[in-house]
Amino acid sequence: MHWVDVIAGELLRRGPKHVVASGTSISGQIHIGNAGDVIMADGVCRSIRERGGEATLLWIADDSDPLRKIPKQLPPEFDRLLGVPCHNLPCPEGHPHSFTDHFIEPFMDALARVGVFPEVKSGLEMYQNGEYGPMVKVALEESARIRDILKRISGAEKAQDWLPFDPICEKCGKIATTDAYGWEDGKVRYRCAGGVAGKSRIEGCGHEGCTDFAQGKLTWRVEWAARWKMLGVTCEPFGKEHAASGGSYDTSKVIVKEVFGYDPPHPVIYEHILVGGRKMSKSLGNIVTLDDFLEVAPPEVMRFFFFRTRATKHKDFDIGKNLLHLVEDYEHVERVYYGKDRPSPQEDEGDLRRAYELSQVRRPAEGFFQVPYTHLVTCAQMAPSYEGVRWILQRNEQLGGMDAEWEGRLKVEVECVRAWVREYAPEEYLFSIQEFLPDVVLDEGEKGLLGRLSDDLATVEWTAERLHSTIHDTGKAAGLDAAHTFGAVYKVILGKPRGPRMGYFLQSMDKGWVLRRLKEAGGT
DSSP codes of every residue in 119-136: EEEEHHHHHHTTSSHHHH
Q: How many CA within 13 A on the CB side of residue 80? A: 3
Cα 133 to Cα 179: distance, rounded to the nearest angstrom = 19
Whats the size of the chain, residue-wise?
Answer: 524
Per-residue pLDDT, 16? 98
For domain 444-522, the question of CATH label 1.10.10.350 is answered with yes
The torsion angles phi and psi of 511, rounded to 5 degrees, stand at -60, -45
**Pairwise CA distance, residues 101 & 75, whole Å:** 17
Which H/E stretch holds residue 514?
helix 511-522
Residue 282 is predicted with a pLDDT of 65
Fold of the CATH domain 285-423? Arc Repressor Mutant, subunit A (1.10.10)
* Residue 72, pLDDT score: 81
Would you give the DSSP letter of residue 439? -
Closest of 388, 390, 423, 384 to residue 297, by C-alpha: 423
What tens digit of pLDDT does each residue of 214-272 get?
Answer: 999 999 999 999 999 999 999 999 999 999 999 999 999 999 999 999 999 999 999 98
Q: What is the DSSP string of 179-221?
A: EEEEEETTEEEEEE--EEETTEEE-----EEEEETTSEEE-HH
Predicted model pTM: 0.92
How is residue 429 annotated by DSSP? G
What does the pLDDT read at residue 321? 84
- Spatial distance between the Cα atoms of 484 and 493, rounded to a whole number of angstroms: 15
Q: Where in the chain is the domain with CATH 1.10.10.350?
A: 444-522
CATH 1.10.10.770 maps onto the chain at 285-423
CA distances (Å), 353 to each of 2, 145, 324, in order? 9, 49, 21
Q: Give which of 54, 51, 50 is closest to 20, Cα–Cα.
A: 54
Three-state DSSP at 17 gives strand
d(CA 519, CA 492): 10
Among 508, 270, 521, which residue's Cα sits nearest to residue 376?
508
Ranges of residues in the chain with a pLDDT under 70 are: 281-285
Quick one: pLDDT at residue 283? 60
For the CA atoms of 23, 128, 96, 170, the dihedral, rounded to the nearest 10 degrees, stands at -110
Q: What's the pLDDT score for residue 317? A: 87
